[in-house]
Chains A and B, each alone.
Chain A
Amino acid sequence: MTTENKTEKPGAGLTRRSLLKTGAAAIGAIAGSGAITGFPTIWAQNPITLRQFGTGVSNINAIAEKCKQDLGITLEMTATDSDAAAQRAVTQPDSYDIADIEYWIAKKVFPAGVMQPMDVKKIKYFDKIVPLFIDGKLKPESVVAQGTAPHTVGFVDAQDSKTFAKSPTDWMTLIPTIYNADTLGIRPDLVGREITTWADIMDPAFKGKTAILNIPSIGIMDAAMIMEAMGNIKYADKGNMTTDEIDKTIDFLIKAKQDGQFRAFWKSFDESVNLMASGEVVIQSMWSPAVAAVRSKGIACKYQPLKEGYRAWGGGLGLAAHLQGAQLDAAYEYINWYLSGWVGAYLNRQGYYSAAMETAKGFMSEDEWGFWVEGKPAKGDILSPEGKVMEKAGAVRDGGSFEERMGKVACWNSVMDEDRYMIKRWNEFIAA
């Protein structure tokens, strides 16, 4: 059951294959003559298509439109869910040019040899990329979070290497696109008290009014945050549990379910919005756009910062192994454009964070930057990229500034060595 939304930007009336052929030939000829100076005009005259598929930014058509406008590169985007993305990345490597996948997926996919690392020397804004993705530390004094932290799968040793490097090298696997810090969403009008810790979701006062998400790889992490906050267990690494730790966590969840603590388990974005908006649940695991969606209905909803920290996730763009020649150049050009600020500002305005915050700043108003990134009260209304009012003047972002939020990441979404066992036990939890 994978949902595929195919957005094909209208080309110049030619088939993709012929575009590629003529485009590649023309670029080759120009490259041979040493005439490469201004890329954008060249792409505009010799249109080239890059096929991008994946989970994150591939859902955003505005980026494809702007890319076509700025670079002349046609982005053909296909959105899938993460499991389908992982499978497609490995089993159909010729079906895409650029993979838009999460870091934990990269951990599964890159060792299969279907992708090629990027030469950091060709990435113009490499030094502007947030250090979280380089050495795992937002600030020099930060502690590296548990789970599949992006920097642990962010580099490989050499161009043809399939093993992840322990420290930054010249070969980067993914260019970060969007990332965020997730926490629990609450209905401040209905919880009736301060919520400060992940353990609050298990408060008997909220019996039958809580929900967690039924996506095993993420749900287990939320459960781990809860377990640890309650003092039931101390994980060596929440992102890579032992079977014993998995057993303890699932047994705890089963008991809570049988005691009637949960109202529902949600699988999709809209389910989480409806549960919250209708008052069926008052505290639940949630994603930040869902919180915004509840608020846009005029219902109070807060993305509550918790003392144990956040569960973070992040995705990035990677290049397919088969890319070469003109297409490879176009892909680098696209990635450089991607990091140059317009996209970053667009993503920041959606409430996500972008890879190179510095470049994005130039494309945001002072008020927008203050609200989204610095955690300051909004001076005027804050608009979404589509122009809808997201927050009224005076509002402050839940959790505060970029540094406060991303600086308090406790763990990253991850894939465990005992993945299969975990999923088996998770199914038992749902069936119990």
Chain B
Amino acid sequence: MATITTSQSGQIETETAPRRLVIPHGLASHLQATPLLLILGFFFVLPILTIVVVSFWDYDFAGLYPDFLTMNYADTLGSWVTWKTYLNTLKFTVLVWALTLSIGFWVAYFLAFHVRTTTMQMVLFLVCTVPFLTSNIIRMISWIPVLGRNGLVNSTLIELGLIPQPIEWLLYSDFAVVLAMVHLNTLFMVTPIFNTLMRIDRSLIEAARDCGASGGQILWNVILPLAKPGMAIGSIFVVTLVMADFSTVQVMSGGQSASVALMMKNQMSLLQYPAAAANAVVLLIVVLSMVAAILRVVDIRKEL
């Protein structure tokens, strides 16, 4: 982005005739960056600043009162509920991340290396995206009749005589939450990994094979390192989505489990906006440091 702007402004400068109005070099590039700056400023920086400001305000049920109190942060960080909820959310994040990464990698691997024709690759890739044609709430809720006490899985297993009575932990449990999240988020892993795998120069693999590398060695020493940027991008998607999730946790745990976003939603529905804002700031810091950690490990610019 930055390189394009400078080269363009350079062009403008060389093309302008002496009698025309000369736009100074710096100003032109600033002008060109202005639209993006305005959009980000209004729709990103300003809202976040508002959240930060409100998180220091006082409140009661009827309104918000501008102030500078650290009470909201003290309440948030000083309560074991917050810590427990963060731990719970982190637990979901780690589980879902590990599962989506391994499933996503193998799906992408299959698409990229086992499917021969490009047409077939694209067809199969589109098949992967088919579930996205319905809303993710529907995809989540449709697990309920499958997993329920009298649901598809339980009734089938009972009819086959495999289990004497329904398995209770299938629905309204951590299992159900993780299952639904993996189902919802795997594609976010598949897409970027598939993209990086497709860019791997096939001659590298041939070279490795010529040098006598086994299939496992090729995978471990050639493909995985080259797929890292895609895995990192997918991880960023999945981690941020799971950390900020509230509906999946609420629906699939039957309200029995808590997540950070659900805690915020509860606070907002009780009109405790400053408390929710403080919570949001804490969550933002946590998620940003997780993203920073991912970027530390993998240089995603290699791909871009």
Using Cβ atoms and an 8 Å threshold, which residues of chain B touch A262?
256
Contact A264–B254 (Cβ < 8 Å): yes
Contact B62–A266 (Cβ < 8 Å): no
How distant is A406 from chain B, measured CB to nearest CB, in Å? Answer: 29
Q: How many pairs, one residue from A and one from B, have CB atoms within 8 Å of each other in the complex? A: 80
B299 in the interface (beta carbon within 8 A): no
Partner-contacting stretch, out of B47-55, B108-116, B222-230, B262-270 = B262-270
Using Cβ atoms and an 8 Å threshold, which residues of chain A touch B151?
278
Which residue on chain A has the smallest CB distance to residue B64? Answer: A91
How distant is B8 from chain A, measured CB to nearest CB, in Å? Answer: 45
How distant is A210 from chain B, measured CB to nearest CB, in Å? Answer: 11
Give 27 A-B contacts (CB < 8 Å), ordered by A residue. Answer: A1-B269, A83-B269, A84-B269, A86-B61, A86-B271, A87-B62, A87-B271, A90-B62, A91-B62, A108-B61, A214-B255, A263-B254, A264-B256, A265-B254, A265-B255, A265-B256, A267-B250, A267-B255, A278-B148, A279-B149, A280-B148, A280-B171, A280-B172, A427-B258, A427-B266, A430-B255, A430-B266
B84 in the interface (beta carbon within 8 A): yes
State the majority secondary structure of interface residues on A. Answer: helix
Q: How far is the CA of A81 from the CA of B269 in the complex (A)?
A: 9
> Which of A1, A87, A428 sits near B61, CB closer than 8 Å?
A87
Which residues of A pack against B, CB within 8 Å?
A: 1-2, 81, 83-84, 86-87, 90-91, 108, 112, 208, 211, 214, 216, 257, 262-267, 274-275, 278-280, 419, 423-424, 427-428, 430-432
Using Cβ atoms and an 8 Å threshold, which residues of chain B touch A87?
61-62, 271
Q: How large is the interface on B (under 10, 10 to 19, 20 to 34, 35 or more residues)?
A: 20 to 34
How distant is A286 from chain B, measured CB to nearest CB, in Å? Answer: 15
Which residues of B pack against A, CB within 8 Å?
A: 61-63, 79-81, 84-85, 88, 144-145, 148-151, 168, 171-172, 250, 254-256, 258, 263, 265-266, 268-271
> Which of B81, B145, B148, B254 sits near A427, CB closer than 8 Å?
B81
Contact A431–B255 (Cβ < 8 Å): no
Q: How far is the CA of A267 from the CA of B256 in the complex (A)?
A: 11
Contact B145–A278 (Cβ < 8 Å): yes
Using Cβ atoms and an 8 Å threshold, which residues of chain A touch B148?
278-280
With A266-B255, A274-B144, A279-B149 known as contacts, the answer to whether A1 contacts B172 (CB < 8 A) is: no
Q: How far is the CA of A212 from the CA of B90 in the complex (A)?
A: 27
Q: How far is the CA of A214 from the CA of B263 in the complex (A)?
A: 13
